[in-house]
């Protein structure tokens, strides 16, 4: 979904493998996938397409004046 959104709303995306970081693994092990932007959780656990899409459309793009 995020890759698909990037086609219409360009933004940087970083995927992190939580198994390479003990603190992240302990924090998010049972809550993946997690979408975080500037320290704020956008979606956690069950991926919420509409919530993430709305965030990208109305938050990321407004900052870029797209």
Q: How many CB atoms lie within 10 A of CB 56?
A: 20
pLDDT number for residue 27: 92
DSSP the chain: -HHHHHHHS--------GGG-HHHHHHHTTT-SEEEETTEEEEESS--HHHHHHHIIIIIHHHHT-
The whole-number average pLDDT for the span 36-44 is 89
Q: In angstroms, rounded to a whole number, what is the distance separating the alpha carbons of residues 29 and 49?
A: 20
**Whether residue 43 has pLDDT greater than 80:** yes
**Whether residue 19 has pLDDT greater than 70:** yes
The whole-number average pLDDT for the span 28-46 is 89
The whole-number average pLDDT for the span 4-16 is 87
Question: Quick one: which of 52, 57, 25, 30 has its CA closest to 41?
Answer: 52
């Amino acid at each position: 979904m995020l890759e698909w959104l990037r086609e219409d709303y360009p933004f940087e995306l970083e995927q992190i493998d939580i198994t390479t970081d003990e603190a992240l693994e302990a924090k998010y092990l049972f809550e993946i996938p997690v979408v975080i932007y500037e320290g704020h959780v956008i979606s956690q656990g069950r991926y919420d397409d509409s919530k993430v899409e709305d965030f990208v459309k109305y938050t990321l793009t407004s900052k870029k004046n797209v």
